[in-house]
Chain A
């Protein structure tokens, strides 16, 4: 076998007779590199160039909890059909890390390709794979780049080789460098020169023996490419965010970092002064404490965190729930419990987020699936929090937050900001008149469970009140009377019911004649859509409801009702959304089946199909 691989001609004939059948714009490339080596620039450049060629693309980073020296993988998926979810194996694997060669070789799809650094001298124990060695060290040395940048330049070398071998447009690579280096011409030109030389080497030394090729399309015209965390920050800025306190934690830090980067561009007053403040707190308790304080005082306030941070925020969220303080918490989920897999993705905080804190609490939750939704929920969450005077949690995850997605462009908010029932001096005067002198912070004047609020700085002599987490009556006064406590709980429950009807509605996609339903949410969306396509090819038609908010609107139970059985697809071990659905619609719970797993990787379409079919076949 080894010999046959060494002999390129044999390898090709073993690999596939498909060399004549080109595979255009429908494959994945995985880059296996060492973290801290600067490979991100190279990978993003290739991804951006493909995006700029008009081809739908996604980029997923599988990285260790480490700064330098451990293996890391980046997978670019191109799909002319727009299926951009995670794939377990790739058609093309680029190995820059000799240590992981054997493992990487195993992840190449049959008939695929491996590009590898010629530092690897060992055997290539697969006959169904085309192998191209790359003299990256030699080519890097030939450049006039300073020695301390050589590791980085080795990554730029493979851009050139891949571009040559796959047909990536060099002009687009140049543009991708311009985007990456923000127009710094010297950096762009010197990097591009390395790409050009490497491409020339490939042209002269490698014979194309594989079927994979990219070709320009026009499917990304007007679209955007980026990460969910950046979109969340931009959405919050268009939602008028005024205060954010945060504490560093993967994978949420880049929300706050994006706020710091973008706020000065969008939100300086005419005199150059700031209409916002972002504070790095000493821990997540303080981060949420500051955010609650700001929300209480009338600022549009948001904090961002991940599982361990959310655990620390539990007590403050309970206070904000009971004292009725608006704030937004972005929870960019990672694998737990405990520190878990801190750099891997999951949807494991559904039940915790919904019921977080002691006592009887429940929260409004928004779940974005796309960049565009990260932006929309960025501004809508601030409206919803102020309208309902309650914490709103937005459940993103590492995959959406830190990986690269294409999306329809952001749209300017289609409605004015909703500041909710806030009363300044004149408003309060009118309210007191309207209620014949009766005024209380927690009085349900409108019968919707939502009281009116005043905030500090209001000079009206009746505006002040003492907010507290202890039992209080309609007027904010301390009380331990059983009837007062119960009345408060009932009003909070009514408020929650009021919210149910106005939260982002679920998205439903149907196929004529389908009897089976799928419910999913968040980043499993792409894999679910691809799974439905694969299932359809097998003759299994499915309808699909994507949950975008909790508490559920009535469409969710109606959807379950309409189907013989409904698979709930989610990236956690316990089937948490199925638990919540079962609790909220016990009469329909028997129809629900779980397609739930968590292992650190996103869901692939193939995995959903496998797990779903295994239950379909069950008698």
Chain B
């Protein structure tokens, strides 16, 4: 990433914007909340990708996670919708201008409980959007109830032990034929940032299940949802970097034979550097397998779990005109006057 610094002025990216141009209003989340760490990486990712803020549209549901879109990209359009129903809102809006990047923020309650239906249908439609789940395993805004992703047997302050098996958001996404499934940890900002960049550049739906500790209600070391527990059990599948089209990859950067590249539609690549075992992110079978293994071994497995960069997205199926639909004028939308006879002929 090249930053242009002229005579001590503020650093700008290639389109002349400063990091401040990507920030939002002052956060009202608790100090130390994982969600703010993610918000900061969204700012960094968009800045480094040289995105025009007006070309990003934010969506969210309800909950602490869903408040956070006001804390980044203050110049962008956004819509804070209903609890669990953000995917439909974003899907409908996405047809208006398919050139914008949709950045959707949800939480574990918003996605894995009330919003499970919309989440899964959003996956199977391959709606072009980044779908970030800020997963803290607890209801924060209503003060500490357990959520559908809280691990079984976790002791919460007011609500006792959780009784049920948790929902694994990545497994649900995979089962619903999502084309980009990743998990990350708010305590691993570099990985979060690179995954966000890769997700933005993916042409279909990209799910990021980011473990994002709630320092107020759910930060017990015994839970993978805490900073300590997450860090202690994190098993990264690979080192990940998004490399845009123009940045040439030099062999020196990576040890030969240890990298995998995922070619994306914009010409850029996701570069995955092998860490331990060989992992193939193009294999759904391996993806299911690693998630199952992680569950058995109590790992917080992170990285790009599955990707299919070539599957047609929702918009590809509609053969839309090139002009954004919301810029079409009356002459494109209202049939000419002689067509009224055709309409009347249909009613006989």
B348 adjacent to A243 (CB under 8 Å): no
A271 adjacent to B321 (CB under 8 Å): yes
Which of A243, A277, A466 meets B70, CB within 8 Å? A466
How near does chain A come to B78, taking the closest CB pair, in angstroms?
4
Which of A226, A237, A469 meets B80, CB within 8 Å? A469
A456 is an interface residue with CB less than 8 A from chain B: yes
A292 is an interface residue with CB less than 8 A from chain B: yes
B348 adjacent to A275 (CB under 8 Å): no
B343 adjacent to A416 (CB under 8 Å): no
Contact A282-B93, Cβ < 8 Å, known A297-B326, A412-B337, A457-B327: no
Residues on B with C-beta less than 8 A from A157 are none
Residues on B with C-beta less than 8 A from A295 are 92
A391 CA / B165 CA spacing, docked (Å): 41
B148 is an interface residue with CB less than 8 A from chain A: no
How near does chain A come to B138, taking the closest CB pair, in angstroms?
21
Contact mask B81-95 → A, CB, 8 Å, 1/0? Answer: 110010111111111
B328 adjacent to A275 (CB under 8 Å): yes
Q: Of all chain A residues, which has the CB nearest B73?
A: A464
Residues on B with C-beta less than 8 A from A262 are 346
B79 adjacent to A293 (CB under 8 Å): yes
A524 is an interface residue with CB less than 8 A from chain B: no
B330 adjacent to A417 (CB under 8 Å): yes
A147 CA / B52 CA spacing, docked (Å): 67
A281 is an interface residue with CB less than 8 A from chain B: yes
Which of B75, B100, B335 meets A267, CB within 8 Å? B335
B340 is an interface residue with CB less than 8 A from chain A: yes
| A283-291, A533-541, A577-585, A601-609: which lies at the interface | A283-291
A167 is an interface residue with CB less than 8 A from chain B: no
Residues on A with C-beta less than 8 A from B121 are 281-282, 286
B88 adjacent to A281 (CB under 8 Å): yes
Which of A51, A179, A238, A271 meets B340, CB within 8 Å? A238
A301 is an interface residue with CB less than 8 A from chain B: yes
Q: Of all chain A residues, which has the CB nearest B70?
A: A466
Residues on B with C-beta less than 8 A from A245 are 88, 91-92
How near does chain B come to A384, taking the closest CB pair, in angstroms?
16
A461 is an interface residue with CB less than 8 A from chain B: yes
A299 is an interface residue with CB less than 8 A from chain B: yes
Total cross-chain contacts (CB, 8 A):
223
How near does chain B come to A229, taking the closest CB pair, in angstroms?
12
B247 is an interface residue with CB less than 8 A from chain A: no
Residues on B with C-beta less than 8 A from A290 are 88-89, 91-92
| B5-13, B53-61, B228-236, B280-288: which lies at the interface | B53-61
Residues on B with C-beta less than 8 A from A48 are 348
A286 CA / B82 CA spacing, docked (Å): 11
B92 adjacent to A417 (CB under 8 Å): no
Contact A411-B340, Cβ < 8 Å, known A274-B319, A455-B326: yes
A240 is an interface residue with CB less than 8 A from chain B: yes
How near does chain A come to B21, taking the closest CB pair, in angstroms?
9
A242 is an interface residue with CB less than 8 A from chain B: yes
Which of A277, A282, A283, A409 meets B344, CB within 8 Å? A409
B85 adjacent to A285 (CB under 8 Å): yes
Residues on B with C-beta less than 8 A from A239 are 334
Residues on A with C-beta less than 8 A from B92 are 243, 245, 279, 289-297, 299, 301
Residues on B with C-beta less than 8 A from A466 are 58, 69-70, 77-80
How near does chain B come to A255, taking the closest CB pair, in angstroms?
14
Residues on A with C-beta less than 8 A from B79 are 293, 296, 323, 466-468
Contact A410-B118, Cβ < 8 Å, known A269-B321, A293-B91, A299-B95: no
B334 adjacent to A265 (CB under 8 Å): no
Contact mask A234-253 → B, CB, 8 Å, 1/0? Answer: 10011110110100000000
Chain A residues bordering chain B, tally (CB within 8 A): 81
Which of B70, B78, B82 meets A469, CB within 8 Å? B82
Which residues 311-348 of B have a CB within 8 angstroms of A?
318-322, 324-328, 330, 332-335, 337, 339-340, 342-344, 346-348
B88 adjacent to A240 (CB under 8 Å): no
Residues on B with C-beta less than 8 A from A291 are 92
B320 adjacent to A240 (CB under 8 Å): no
B76 adjacent to A464 (CB under 8 Å): yes
Which residues 153-200 of B have a CB within 8 angstroms of A?
none
A315 is an interface residue with CB less than 8 A from chain B: yes
A186 is an interface residue with CB less than 8 A from chain B: no
Which residues 15-44 of B have a CB within 8 angstroms of A?
none
Contact A297-B96, Cβ < 8 Å, known A240-B330, A274-B319: yes
B99 is an interface residue with CB less than 8 A from chain A: yes
How near does chain A come to B100, taking the closest CB pair, in angstroms?
6
A353 is an interface residue with CB less than 8 A from chain B: no
B80 adjacent to A316 (CB under 8 Å): no
Which residues 409-426 of A have a CB within 8 angstroms of B?
409-413, 416-417, 424
Contact A289-B343, Cβ < 8 Å, known A294-B96, A301-B92, A457-B326: no
Contact A275-B88, Cβ < 8 Å, known A230-B346, A286-B118: no
A291 CA / B89 CA spacing, docked (Å): 7
Residues on A with C-beta less than 8 A from B85 are 285-286, 289, 315-316
Residues on B with C-beta less than 8 A from A457 are 96-97, 99-100, 324, 326-327
A582 CA / B78 CA spacing, docked (Å): 41
Q: Of all chain A residues, which has the CB nearest B21?
A: A461
A290 CA / B96 CA spacing, docked (Å): 11
Binding site for B on A (CB under 8 A): 48, 51, 179, 224-226, 230-231, 234, 237-240, 242-243, 245, 262, 265-267, 269, 271-277, 279, 281-283, 285-301, 315-316, 319, 323, 371, 375, 407, 409-413, 416-417, 424, 454-461, 463-470, 478
Binding site for A on B (CB under 8 A): 52-55, 57-58, 69-70, 74-82, 85, 87-97, 99-100, 117-118, 121, 318-322, 324-328, 330, 332-335, 337, 339-340, 342-344, 346-348
Q: Which 3 pairs, one residue from A and one from B, show the smallest C-beta to C-beta distance?
A: A289-B88, A293-B92, A240-B333
